[in-house]
Structure 1
Amino acid sequence: MTFQTVRATCTAIALAGLCCTLATVPAHADTPVGWEGQALGLSAAQQLSQGAGVTVAVLDTGAEADHPALKGRVTTGPDFLKDGLQSGDPEWGGHGTAMASDVLKVAPKAKVLSVRVINDEEDDETTYQELQELRKLGKSPIAEGIHYAVDHGADVISMSLGSADSWGADYSGEETSAVAYALEKGVPVLASAGNAGDEFNGTSYPAGYAGVIAVAATQQNGERADFSTVHTYNDVAAPGVAIMSARNTGGYEAVNGTSPACALAAGVVALMYAKNPDLTPAQVNNILIATTNRPPEGSSPLLGYGAIDAAAAVAAAASPPKDETAPIAHKGKEHLATPDGTPKTTHPDLEQGLWTTGLAAAGTGLALLAGGALLIRSGRRQPPAGTVNMPPPPGPYTG
């Protein structure tokens, strides 16, 4: 869930004016809208819908419901991370407060259900490993959060979070099943594509799970933000650079990442649902894709099918394409994929005899190769002192 922030000095006009406004003015203050408003076509979209009656579940680090940008519009759900932090702690709700405000920036009359499933230090290696251990035990806070959101009235699920492990070790069967549960219940799931585009560009989950709408990030000129992960699972893109967002300690700050891109996209989906509450997840996905500002080269792993056009998407929601993704009965022969009961996401243990024999053979081969390499290199110039090649650390949580 790493995201880069650019600290911005917020004008005191909005907050100072709030203290002397009339009682007829709503208790909340709108999050400032920057270049992302024009990029999304937000003004035109909000003339068609403002998200009334729609609940967006923000699965994140928690959201400070008393922030002026969120006040009266956020319900706080359970804390599935259970790390002892609480609302009011500076380390609680930093990222989640920002993301909730971005959703409401797009859909000001929507409601946010805040469910805490990660913390603001997921880029710390120790915390990352702890989350991995929870996953191995089948106790994914993310999966629990998805189930809770679906069972408590969420119309849309927004997850500005993800892993960036190059080897896909962050795949979770529990989370895959939870996503499937949400889709089956008619709740679309969006996730940030990841912020590893300028690093190792590893696969990011939950964006990589089937059925999830993965959102990449654009910069002000419409091109991909340098950090936005490049991958075939990318569906659409939204602004993700210098997005003014609420800060858990008060005020606002500019945020960079696929995290705000996902939150803004979830806000657009909220506008669509307010326009047509009968939309299915497949229809939401198809409408977002069909109405994008598609680049000349067409779809690509850079930005998926292109940047979201909020106004076009909301307008198209009124007459959606037919959903042909309903399940049908299987008419073929019965086939048992795992007759021995082995889970599909794990492998049986290696036979120790074969494993040790192979290891010994490999060790011998490596020793011979090393000796040969030393003989070949004996007359060559040695590398400079202090040159060390280190393997990369485990991928952090991004968003």
Structure 2
Amino acid sequence: MKLRTIRATCTAVALTGLLGTLATTPAQAATPVGWEGQALGLSAAQQQSQGEGMTVAVLDSGVMEDHPALKGKVTTGPDFLQDGLEPGDPKWGEHGTAMASDVLKVAPKAKILSVRVIDDSDDETPDIKDLEELRNQGKSPLEAGIQYAVDHGADVISMSLGSSDWFNTYSAEESAAVDYALLAGVPVLASAGNSGDGLNSTSYPAGYAGVIAVAATQPNGTRAEFSTVHTYNDVAAPGVAINSATNTGGYKPVNGTSPACALAAGVVALMKAKNPKLTPTQVNDVLIATTNRPAGGGSALLGYGPINAAAAVKASASPPKDETAPAAYEGKEHFATPDGTPKDTHPELEQSVFMTGAVAAGAGLVLLIGGVLLVRSGRRRAPTPGPMGPTGPAGMMPPQGRYPG
């Protein structure tokens, strides 16, 4: 596999000032709770479950485990990014610490497993030589992080991150890693992306099958303008001015589908503590069935609607049956009934149709080449005076990467 570089852009935008504690949840939640507490129904949810016994793997930029809101609750796993940064560096743990605190804000008795797969930098990528070991294993940091989390006791995986470009962001290996988690019974959540007010590009891992993609809402319950609009959106959670821990020991409010994903992961921890037998499919189905459904029903804006934590935890006690288990095919010998055509054969190619398409394609190619040559010839004869702008190679693709959601 071609190992893709990974970078972090702190898209969870800091607002000015520190907010006071607006307590709507029990005292165990050390991180100040704002409007998201009422929006999620945290008080009622935490009367049913506190996330006891659950481990939430936060795949992110690292977590400062000595933060007052996190002390004694964090296990630090490997640094799969291997970029040489360590705790205390400004680009280490800013985003991940915030996300871990948001998980614990919802599930205060859960534990955090921190696995570093991105950094907090806007413009730096890891040196490919530092990643040689992972490259030889054929794994990206995200793929390796998912597998490590599953193998080391994670009950929920939270990924507040996403791909940062339009091209080549899908990875079959990362998709397989998600499948590995789901088959092991571990629900996987990811932020939907923060490009809703820009190019609105597809984001992975949110786009992988089986991942619960979380969009962001603002205080009035509607979509936050930055939240990516896409058919892969499953549910939504608060994502504007969410009080979160910093990697310097304090707190600040942040925006993004990142905190929305972390809060949703906390809700899933409450659900699984209530019913440890919940499968990933049941988690997804319960979350969707108990949302505060928008008047127009589900849509690409917020999926099936904002999460109702209290209702989701209550419904977890009696979830719908999981019917996604593999089953042997018991039908006819051939899928292509009733004509009996074997599935490993196909009709002969109609040569006339093929030749017509080939001729049309060839003619189009000739016209395209001729047009390009004509334009280039015209430019050589009539140069435009004055500056021409950048002289670098045309069509160069931007560096690939991942950013915090």
Q: Which moved more, 1:313-322 or 1:360-369?
A: 360-369
Distance of 2:136 and 2:368 partners within structure 1: 30
Query: Structure 1 residue 50: deviation in Å?
Result: 0.6
Matched, 1:50 2:55: no
Query: Structure 1 residue 86: deviation in Å?
Result: 1.2
Q: Is the CA contact 2:29–2:104 (under 8 Å) kept in the aligned structure 1?
A: no
**Residue 10 of structure 1: aligned partner:** 18
**Residue 237 of structure 1: aligned partner:** 236
- What's the TM-score once normalised by structure 2's chain length? 0.80
Q: Aligned-pair RMSD on alpha carbons?
A: 3.4
Matched, 1:171 2:179: no
Distance of 2:131 and 2:79 partners within structure 1: 18
Distance of 1:286 and 1:128 partners within structure 2: 41
**Residue 227 of structure 1: aligned partner:** 226
**Residue 347 of structure 2: aligned partner:** none
**Residue 297 of structure 2: aligned partner:** 298
**Residue 260 of structure 2: aligned partner:** 261
**Residue 273 of structure 2: aligned partner:** 274
Secondary structure of the structure 1 residue equivalent to 2:213: strand
- What's the TM-score once normalised by structure 1's chain length? 0.81
Q: Is the CA contact 2:79–2:117 (under 8 Å) kept in the aligned structure 1?
A: yes
Q: Is the CA contact 2:29–2:106 (under 8 Å) kept in the aligned structure 1?
A: no
Q: Is the CA contact 1:164–1:201 (under 8 Å) kept in the aligned structure 2?
A: no
In the superposition, relative to structure 1, how do residues 200 and 49 fare at CA in structure 2: closer, same or farther (>3 Å)? Answer: same
Matched, 1:181 2:180: yes
Matched, 1:160 2:165: no
Q: Is the CA contact 1:166–1:200 (under 8 Å) kept in the aligned structure 2?
A: no
**Residue 60 of structure 1: aligned partner:** 60
Secondary structure of the structure 1 residue equivalent to 2:57: strand
Q: Is the CA contact 1:164–1:194 (under 8 Å) kept in the aligned structure 2?
A: no
In the superposition, relative to structure 1, how do residues 144 and 328 fare at CA in structure 2: closer, same or farther (>3 Å)? Answer: same
Query: Structure 1 residue 59: deviation in Å?
Result: 0.5
**Residue 5 of structure 2: aligned partner:** none
Q: Is the CA contact 1:217–1:261 (under 8 Å) kept in the aligned structure 2?
A: yes
Query: Structure 1 residue 91: deviation in Å?
Result: 1.5
**Residue 306 of structure 2: aligned partner:** 307
In the superposition, relative to structure 1, how do residues 124 and 274 fare at CA in structure 2: closer, same or farther (>3 Å)? Answer: same
In the superposition, relative to structure 1, how do residues 250 and 309 fare at CA in structure 2: closer, same or farther (>3 Å)? Answer: same
Query: Structure 1 residue 276: deviation in Å?
Result: 0.4
Query: Structure 1 residue 396: deviation in Å?
Result: 5.3
Choose from 367, 370, 376 the match for 2:372: 367
Distance of 1:300 and 1:273 partners within structure 2: 27
In the superposition, relative to structure 1, how do residues 79 and 385 fare at CA in structure 2: closer, same or farther (>3 Å)? Answer: closer
In the superposition, relative to structure 1, how do residues 130 and 29 fare at CA in structure 2: closer, same or farther (>3 Å)? Answer: farther
Give the aligned residue type for 1:280.
Answer: T
Q: Percentage identity across aligned positions?
A: 67
In the superposition, relative to structure 1, how do residues 152 and 91 fare at CA in structure 2: closer, same or farther (>3 Å)? Answer: same
Query: Structure 1 residue 366: deviation in Å?
Result: 3.4
1:268-308 per-residue CA deviation (whole Å, 9 max, x = no partner) reads: 00000110000000000000000001111111111000000
In the superposition, relative to structure 1, how do residues 336 and 207 fare at CA in structure 2: closer, same or farther (>3 Å)? Answer: farther
1:110-129 mapped onto 2 (5 Å cutoff): 110-121=110-121, 123-124=122-123, 126-127=125-126
Q: Is the CA contact 1:124–1:396 (under 8 Å) kept in the aligned structure 2?
A: no
**Residue 247 of structure 2: aligned partner:** 248
Distance of 2:69 and 2:231 partners within structure 1: 35
Matched, 1:146 2:151: no
Query: Structure 1 residue 174: deviation in Å?
Result: 1.3
Q: Is the CA contact 1:164–1:196 (under 8 Å) kept in the aligned structure 2?
A: no
**Residue 30 of structure 1: aligned partner:** 30
Give the aligned residue type for 1:161.
Answer: L
Query: Structure 1 residue 213: deviation in Å?
Result: 0.2
**Residue 402 of structure 2: aligned partner:** 397
**Residue 285 of structure 2: aligned partner:** 286
Query: Structure 1 residue 252: deviation in Å?
Result: 0.5
Q: Is the CA contact 1:196–1:227 (under 8 Å) kept in the aligned structure 2?
A: yes
In the superposition, relative to structure 1, how do residues 324 and 78 fare at CA in structure 2: closer, same or farther (>3 Å)? Answer: same
In the superposition, relative to structure 1, how do residues 358 and 52 fare at CA in structure 2: closer, same or farther (>3 Å)? Answer: farther
Query: Structure 1 residue 232: deviation in Å?
Result: 0.5
Q: Is the CA contact 2:239–2:260 (under 8 Å) kept in the aligned structure 1?
A: yes
